Amino acid sequence: MTINELKSKKVGVLGFGHEGQALVRYLSKHQIPINVFDKKTQSEMNANQLSIIAEHKFQTFLGENYLDNLGEMEVVFKSPGINLSDQIKQTLKEKEIFLTSQTAWFFKHCPSKIIGITGTKGKGTTSSLLFEILKASQFPHKVYITGNIGKDSPLDFLDQTTPEDLIVFELSSFQLEGLQQSPNIGICLMVTEDHLDYHPDLESYHKAKEAITKFQTENDIAIYNIDYLASKHIGELGDGKKYEISKSDAISLGARIDLQTEQIVITTESSQISIETKPRIIRGKHNLENIAAASLAATLLGVDSKILTHTIQSFSGLPHRLELVGEFHNVKFYDDSIATNPDTALAGLTSFTEPVILLLGGANKGLDYTNFLTQVSQSQNLKAIICFGQVGELLFSALTKLGFQKTLNGPFMSFDEAVKSAISISDTGDIILLSPAATSFDMFNSYAERGDAFKELIRSHYAQN
């Protein structure tokens, strides 16, 4: 379907969050009448949403019964994360309503080469690092970054793209779900357990990720981490040329990570190069997997190894990802609020050799913490755990039953009190780490808001003391 064909259709935008607002801007620019569906009432919307409604004057269906008129549409753009009931899906199917998304539309109509990056965690860091590498290489055409990581929606620049440009696109399971097209270069990082509050089970979550490679042709490239079974399965789908990432020696084509030297050896059909990652700013050996993926993709795009090395070593990472907030009274504070599941929280903890006071908790999204708590309890450098929020209550109870031998404070229903508790038991040389292993939605609107609150609490505490 083309943009001109949409002009004669009844078009619905389902969800009026970040992507829904971008769709309204894009479709309105092309003079397409639209209908917006959102469960919020107008009184619950923010200033930006109200401004867009006032400017573009489209039909809205809002509040509790917002889906009642969805069946009258001919085309529906669904925002990621909106979980339609089986009844609604059946209605759309019976009425032959074309269901699509911002991501699907962009993939279909963008003439540029798309580098798609997904994974349970690490996709933001990998996307940003690859974007910085490509910029540093003085790539002769435009390089864009979009998805969850980019400031711009992909539709904000779609009309300006050319066949010579490159698009670095961070892709969540929500954005990949239902796609019938894969990126030209598909990168699958670690895939473990996440978003079980949305996906009915782990298999469904993994299946949603499959579009990263499933529809590739022999002209495309699949890069995937074979150290994770789900990632390996996803990477082996489709007809793209296969390049593996692993800590194993058994890599014929791809990137091998040497954990001892922290070098990355990249082997392609025509060459083998070694990338020095030290000294670098971003902490954690888990980040070597992200660095390997970005380096391998950049190498396949023809970037020189000297540019790779320099950019990797100077890359400072992203906010809320093992971000050093500051050092006060010889105690260092790290914001790893992005760590919303057990695997990434464990990766955060193991990034340090110093004594760690770990802040754990947040909203419950149905994850299994059994193995995580066993490993955390055995951590040699863990000094204390501070539990907060919904998950904090569960973890506090579980750790108590396990006979946790170290300091265990909480569970706190106030994030402020949890942070103050961590500060109160800290000593010279300690690390206070917010790596919560849970989402933020019991207390905050996003992991970023939680991370910002952590920073502000620390700075205000030491400003007064």
Start and end residues for every CATH 3.90.190.20 domain found in the chain = 323-464
Q: 362-377: per-residue pLDDT in tens?
A: 999 888 999 999 999 9
Report the run of H or E that residue 453 belongs to, with start and end.
helix 447-464
Paired tokens of 142: 């435009």
State how far the Cα of 125 lies from the Cα of 364, in Å rounded to an integer.
Answer: 25
Q: Which residues pair with 256 in a beta bridge?
A: 246, 265
**For residues 325-351, b (16+ Cβ closer than 10 Å) or e, as one string?**
beebeebbbbbbbbbbbbbbbbbbbbb
Q: How confident is the model at residue 4 (pLDDT cuts 50, 70, 90)?
A: very high
Per-residue pLDDT tens digits for 249-289: 779 999 999 999 999 999 999 999 999 999 999 998 899 99
Would you state the pLDDT for residue 192? 83
pLDDT band at 200 (very low <50, low <70, confident <90, very high): low
Percent of the chain at pLDDT > 70 equals: 98
- Tell me the C-alpha distance between 350 and 285, whole Å: 8
Q: Taking residues 103-113, report their average pLDDT.
A: 98
Whether the per-residue pLDDT at 37 is higher than 70: the answer is yes
Per-residue pLDDT of 284-324, as tens digits, reads 889 999 999 999 999 999 999 999 999 999 999 999 999 99
Could you tell me where in the chain the CATH 3.40.1190.10 domains are found?
106-314
Distance CA 249, CA 257 (A): 9
At 195 the pLDDT is 47
- pLDDT, mean of residues 95-120: 97
> What's the pLDDT tens digit per position in 430-441?
999 999 999 999
Structure tokens belonging to residue 224: 């995937």
pLDDT at 30 (0 to 100): 97
At residue 100, does pLDDT exceed 70? yes
Q: What is the pLDDT of residues 157-196, one digit of tens each?
A: 999 999 999 999 999 988 999 899 999 999 999 998 554 4
**Mean predicted confidence (pLDDT) in 221-244:** 97
* pLDDT, the chain, mean: 94
* pLDDT over 90 at 121, yes or no: no
Percentage of residues in the chain having pLDDT higher than 90:
87
Q: How many CB atoms within 10 Å of residue 324?
A: 14
In this structure, what DSSP letter does residue 387 have?
A: E
> Which CATH code for domain 323-464?
3.90.190.20
CA neighbor of 413 nearest in space, from 438, 373, 443: 443
SS3 141: coil
pLDDT score recorded for residue 57: 85
In whole angstroms, what is the distance from residue 155 CA to residue 148 CA? 13
- Phi first, then psi, for residue 241 (nearest 5°) are -65, 135
Q: pLDDT by residue (tens digit) across 329-385?
A: 999 999 999 999 999 999 999 999 999 999 999 999 888 999 999 999 999 999 999
The CATH 3.40.50.720 portion of the chain extends over 3-100
pLDDT, tens digit, 9 for 90 and up, residues 127-148: 999 999 999 998 888 999 999 7
Domain 106-314 class, CATH top level: alpha beta
Mean pLDDT of 86-93: 91
- Are β-strands 166-170 and 143-147 bridged in parallel, bridged antiparallel, or unpaired? parallel
Predicted confidence at residue 150, as pLDDT, reads 64
The pLDDT of residue 250 is 79
Residue 23 has pLDDT above 70, yes or no: yes
Superfamily of domain 3-100: NAD(P)-binding Rossmann-like Domain (3.40.50.720)
Contacts of 13 (CB under 8 A, 6+ apart): 20, 23, 24, 27, 34, 35, 36, 37, 76, 77, 79
CA distance 30 to 46: 25
Alpha-carbon dihedral 8, 37, 57, 28, rounded to 10 degrees: -50
On the CB side of 12, how many CA atoms lie within 13 Å of its CA? Answer: 25
